[in-house]
Structure 1
Amino acid sequence: MVVQKPGTPRELERYLRPENMAGVGFDQVCAAAGAVRTGTLFNATPQILGVSMNPQIVQPGDVFLGICGAKRHGAEFVDTAISNGAVALITDTAGLEFLPDDFSIPVAVVADVRKAAAKVAQAVYGTNEHCPQLFAVTGTNGKTTTTFMIRAILEALGEETGLIGTIEMSARGQIIPSVLTTPESTQLHGVLARMAQQSVNSVAMEVSSHSLSYGRVDALNFAVSGYTNLTQDHLDLHGTMEDYYQTKAQLFTPEHSSAAVVMVDDPYGARLVDQAQIPTESLSLDENHKHADWRVTELEHSGLGHRFTLKHRDGRQLHTRTALPGMFNVANAALATLMVLAGGVELQRLQQALDAKDPLSVAVPGRMQVVAESPVAVVDFAHNSDALAKALDSVRPGAQGRRIVVFGATGERDKTKRPDMGAVAARHADIVIVTDDDPHGEAPEPIREQVATGAQQAIDSEGLTTELYNVAPRAKAVEFAVSLAQEHDAILVAGRGHEVSQDVAGMDVELDDRVELANALNLHGFVTNS
């Protein structure tokens, strides 16, 4: 079944900007961006109501940004932008080549349109003066859960909140479907201005390496930025782990952030604390860490989750818990708590909110989401080797139970991690079922084979007793996993989390791991959570 998207991109765009804009003069916008006016309409000064890089989503009164893309120049499509209501154009010298001499809207030129985009948006939407307090979370894994936890803490403190991330964008509980983990700078400034208009006080935001590479968070200042971890991912963009790290490190400079909290339990985090150019506090899960400012201590199981204490080297303490399973969720919860503290909340008031509301137990769609408890059945977004290992270690079967995992690898992404993910699964699970993730434009069979080969090599070379299966399509693989399960086992369906459609050769095919897992459990006579 093909999934229907919620509205067209142009319709969605209306929700990513404030309502009833008064308008800003084009000359003022050009001054903010360092753009130089040119052309026959040099003296025209239209009022700018919005800004867009995409001619298809331009709204009436927009300035259109003609950017040089990988294959085509945006200025080639300016007629579409004008037909949708663009009243001015900012482009580069290459873009001028596509314009006729008698061009019908005023034009300005900058050297790099993408770098100027955030300043244009800031000038149009006024986010330099009217913007909620911003909390940024970056790292390979844990960004989504940590931002959900930050929002939950802030709501427990009585704040009106917003969220921008992989699963959703929301303002005071009103959800807007996300277009990217971090929207384009033009949309990001627009939606933050809309949130300010709606009296949102604070916003928790995921900041991906893509958003830093492409300048999507430029011209914003985060009150507090947090770092979770760095493991192999996105090397199709960055090429090397060093470039991946240096891209993340840009967030921890005065250009982007005022303060930071950094997990130092991986080498990149320890390095980042030393490199950060802003006031930074370090955090470790190791209570014996000699150099961390904050440490997790008094850790004990509490249901599926944990109870723990955060201790500072100066004697300050915070006591809290999370119902979400896994040590990585302890890390997410600790980071979220300390980021809110670093944002200026008084410690005693924060402790009261943690005690009264239990905000760190917030349910996060598709992140260690428990579908059943006998057998333990969990859906998680883990889609790289480190996340997969941690997720598997976090699902605890009964004393005689087995770990069963269903997962695949994404097409048209970093191919080097496919066999490694297979090997990790073979080491951490008793039964491995390799299936399809999002093949995108790749043939799915070779992807599965690459993952399965990595698993088989680990089984053979390390003498593992892991059972290995290659099953497609994904829904069949999930049902097969449940058919093998007994009540004391644990099943992890990993890789897609909250996603409700699978990209197969450019088609969005309806598939929700949570629904498929629940249906399979019911089919085989197990009880699911309501």
Structure 2
Amino acid sequence: MPAKLEGKVATAPPRPNHIRPASVAALAAVADVHLTRPGHADVQVTGVTLRAQQVVPGDLYAALPGAHAHGADFAEAALANGAVAVLTDEAGAARESLRDVPVLVHPRPREVVGLLAAHVYGRPSTKVRLWGVTGTSGKTTTTYMIESVLKAAGRQTGLIGTVGTRIGDEQLGSSHTTPEAPDLQALFAVMAERGVTDVAMEVSSHALHMGRVAATEFEVGAFTNLSQDHLDFHADMEEYFQVKAQLFDGRARREVVCVDGEWGPRLVKDTTVTVSTTGPATWTASGVEVSATGEQTFTAHGPDGDVEIHLPLAGSFNVANALVAIACLHEEGIGTDAVQAGLSTVQVPGRMQRVDEGQAFTAVVDYSHKPAAVALALDAVRAKTDGRVIVVLGCGGDRDRAKRPLMGEAAAQRADVVIITDDNPRSEDASSIRAAMLEGALATANRGEVLEIGDRRLAIFKAVELAHPGDVVVVAGKGHETGQEIAGVVHPFSDVDTLTAAIRKAHR
């Protein structure tokens, strides 16, 4: 059952106001697909969607095969809403409900729906500059850094990613890190219409694997890092890497790769701009200094000299993210003044986000929801405190089960107190998820205290209750999210708001 946000109805993604219609015959030629009814070749298409309930008159409805249902099951509703043509496979084309409409048939329709949408919306990715960032961790932070610098340089910006979508200053919601292919092409067209010049965009492995960024042309493609995640979706780490590597198959005019670790170097070509915090590269960093608040200064060394950087974000990994952003921006000729100004003011929701209510301990919310990210976050706060580290951590349901004990282990190795709690259990039994995390935590040698509190709100309040002056409380896993999914229902929940409330209550 799809999740429903209580009290809210999902809205359709934006569409451009001005569209030059495309005939189904032209679409068939563009994607080299079979048109079942040539007599309908002149039917004009003005939009594309995968969702029958979001069809508007003039749309091409993409009826894709799925794990639980076939999109053709909903074709009748799509046609009733005004769809004028359908893209599907042979199984879908055989449906009785499609006998009187033009049908574009392809054995793997998902592979061509992005191309068709790009054609309908006028190849919009060529009308804005796209800055694509992929990797396991750091995508959101790096895109926020790029956007902040572009704004400082006077560019009109857009942002697409996990936290949401932004067109200028208008904030939209986000159901995927990277929207579905037709929604993405429509979004590019809307941004271009509204004067956006540059779009910083997260590119997930799901998006690459499922063709969401097909027919999308990037000005710059960047790689941050790779660690275990999404192994419920990918067979193993090698497959995960190969999918990420698709961003570097020629669809980006320039490529920037962080070569720290084992995976990045495999992406390097003669023209690749490299980044490293540990060894030789096109861009490196030195003189990193961290203040008591976690803010950092360092010197970035690049082809044209040094740049002094002030970064209001904690964690050594954010130095690497900043270097990736700086390298991308340098490739596009963004000046040093804008780089310094943009990075000095960047803020990223739910990424090492401090909650300060005047308390005598440090409180941080972070989106770390994979073993390596948990380790990096806790190592970062450990390096700046002589007190204890207290972490609240859960794992999502219906996702990579293998990482659960590893996350428990990573937390127990680094924190003085680990409170295992619920994240988004989704359709799974929450106690079984916690049990897997506890197994990893309790098996760790030299571990600290490990507690289990299933109710996430109570777990956060407990962490604050335990905190002494000089300690650090880290609430990890959900970051910017404003809901908790349990048994198919998304209940309002914010780690930042809950942590704030807990601190205020403790200091009344």
Match of 2:500 in 1: 518
Moved more, 207-216 or 331-340: 331-340
- Aligned length in residues: 502
68-77 vs 513-522, which moves further: 68-77
- Measured in 2, the distance between the counterparts of 1:111 and 1:360 equals 50
Candidates 254, 269, 278, aligned match of 1:259? 254
Preserved contact between residue 33 and residue 106 of structure 2 (Cα < 8 Å):
yes
- What is the CA–CA distance in structure 1 between the aligned matches of 2:307 and 2:26, rounded to whole Å? 48
| Aligned residue in 2 for 1:420 | 406
Q: 1:95 to 1:203 in 2, by over 3 A?
A: same
For residues 156-171 of structure 1, what are the structure 2 equivalents within 5 Å?
156-171=152-167
Contact 2:19 2:120 (8 Å CA) reproduced: no
Q: What is the SS of the residue equivalent to 1:259?
A: strand
Residues 182, 221 of structure 1: alpha-carbon distance in 2 compared, 3 angstrom cutoff = same
Give identity over the alignment, percent.
Answer: 39
Q: State which drifts further: 56-65 or 207-216.
A: 56-65
Residue by residue over 1:307-330, the C-alpha shift from the partner in whole angstroms, topping out at 9 and shown as x without a partner, is 111113x56222212111111111
Deviates more, 1:262-271 or 1:296-305: 296-305
User: Following TM superposition, by how much is the alpha carbon of 1:99 offset from its aligned partner in structure 2, in angstroms?
Assistant: 3.0
Aligned twin of 2:70: 73
Structure 2 residue 297 is the aligned partner of structure 1 residue 307: yes
1:375 corresponds in structure 2 to 361
Change (3 A) 1:129 1:268: closer
8 Å contact kept, 1:258–1:279: no
- The reply on whether 1:208 has 2:204 as its aligned counterpart is yes
1:125-145 CA distance string (max 9 Å, x none): 012575210001100011111
1:365–1:100 distance in 2 versus 1, CA, 3 Å: closer
Aligned counterpart, 1:176: 172
1:504 paired residue among 470, 473, 486? 486
Matches within 5 A, 1:274-285: 276=269, 279-285=271-277
> How far apart, CA to CA, are the structure 1 residues paired with 2:383 and 2:107?
58
* Contact 1:29–1:120 under 8 Å retained in 2: yes
Q: Displacement of 1:358 after TM fit?
A: 4.1
**Residue of structure 2 aligned with 1:345, choices 333, 358, 367:** 333
- Which of 259, 265, 268 is the aligned partner of 1:270? 265
- The 1:178/1:463 distance shift into structure 2, 3 A limit, reads closer
Partner of 2:339: 354
Deviates more, 1:41-50 or 1:411-420: 41-50
- When structure 1 is superposed on structure 2, of 419-428 and 105-114 the one drifting more is 105-114
Out of 312, 337, 347, the residue aligned to residue 323 of structure 1 is 312
Any idea what the Cα deviations from partners look like across 1:157-210, whole Å, max 9, x if unmatched? Answer: 000000000111111111111121001111111100110111100000000000
Mark the CA change 1:358 to 1:159 in structure 2 (over 3 Å): closer, same or farther: closer
**Contact 2:23/2:41 (CA < 8 Å) preserved in 1?**
no
Residue 64 of structure 1 deviates from its aligned partner by 1.0
**SS of equivalent residue, structure 1 residue 153:** helix
Q: Residue 407 of structure 1 aligns to which amino acid in structure 2? A: L
Structure 1 CA distance for aligned equivalents of residues 442 and 9 of structure 2 = 44
Amino acid at match of 1:24: A
State the secondary structure of the residue aligned to 2:246.
helix
Structure 1 residues 128, 363: CA separation in 2 closer, same or farther (over 3 Å shift)? closer
Using the TM superposition, give the Cα deviation of residue 76 of structure 1 relative to its aligned residue in structure 2, in angstroms: 2.7
Structure 2 partner of 1:35: 33
Match in the other structure for 2:391 = 405
Decide whether aligned partners of structure 1 residues 194 and 476 sit closer, same or farther in structure 2, where only a CA change above 3 A counts: same
Q: Are the counterparts in 1 of residues 125 and 185 from structure 2 also a CA contact under 8 Å?
A: no
- The DSSP-based 3-state class of the residue aligned with 2:387 is coil
- Kept in 1, the 8 Å contact 2:76–2:97? The answer is no
Q: Which residue among 444, 449, 460 is the counterpart of 2:435? A: 449
The answer to whether the Cα contact below 8 Å between 1:166 and 1:178 also exists between their aligned partners in 2 is: yes
Q: What amino acid is the match of 1:164?
A: I
Q: Which amino acid in the other structure matches residue 251 of structure 1?
A: L
Question: In structure 2, what is the Cα distance between the partners aligned to 1:48 and 1:142?
Answer: 38
Question: Relative to structure 2, which stretch is displaced further, 359-368 or 330-339?
Answer: 359-368
- Alpha-carbon deviation of 1:104? 2.9
TM-score relative to the length of structure 1: 0.91
Superposition deviation, residue 6 in structure 1? 4.9
Q: What is the letter of the counterpart of residue 213 of structure 1?
A: H
Amino acid in structure 2 at the alignment position of 1:87: V
Instruction: Report the Cα distance in structure 1 between the residues aligned to 2:488 and 2:93, rounded to whole angstroms.
Output: 34
> Structure 2-normalised TM-score?
0.95
- Residues 86-97 of structure 1 correspond to what in structure 2 (within 5 A)? 86-97=83-94
Query: SS of the counterpart of 1:438?
Result: coil
C-alpha distance in structure 2 between counterparts of 1:233 and 1:400, whole Å = 31
CA distance in 2, matches of 1:272, 1:296: 21
1:69-99 deviation digits (Å, cap 9, x = unpaired)? 2233222321111111101112222222113
Matches within 5 A, 1:66-145: 66-99=63-96, 103-127=99-123, 130-145=126-141
Q: CA deviation at 1:120?
A: 0.4
Structure 1 residue identity aligned to 2:238: E
Pairing partner for 2:377 from 391, 394, 403: 391
- Note if contact 2:6-2:491 (Cα within 8 Å) is conserved in structure 1: no
- In 1, distance between residues paired with 2:475 and 2:101? 53
* SS of the residue 2:212 aligns to: coil
Deviation at 1:488, TM superposition (A): 0.8
Contact 2:298 2:310 in 1 (8 A): yes
2:456 is aligned to 474
Deviations 1:425-453 (A, max 9, x none): 11111111100011111111111111112
1:409 deviates by 1.0
Mapped to 1, the partners of 2:355 and 2:461 lie a distance apart of 14
Q: Write the distance in 1 (CA, Å) between the matches of 2:202 and 2:450.
A: 35
Larger CA deviation: 403-412 vs 106-115: 106-115
Contact preservation (8 Å) 1:153, 1:360: no
CA contact (8 A) 1:397 1:490 kept: no
Supply the distance in 2 between the matched residues of 1:424 and 1:282 (Cα, whole angstroms): 29
**8 Å contact 1:423–1:457 — kept in the other structure?**
yes
The aligned residue for residue 12 of structure 2 is 12
Aligned-residue Cα RMSD (Å) equals 1.8
Question: Which segment is superposed worse, 193-202 or 27-36?
Answer: 27-36
The letter of the residue matching 2:299 is: T
Deviation at 1:413, TM superposition (A): 1.1
Instruction: Note if contact 1:376-1:397 (Cα within 8 Å) is conserved in structure 2.
Output: no
The 1-side partners of 2:125 and 2:483 are apart by 39
**Paired residues of 2:350 and 2:480 also in contact (CA < 8 A):** yes
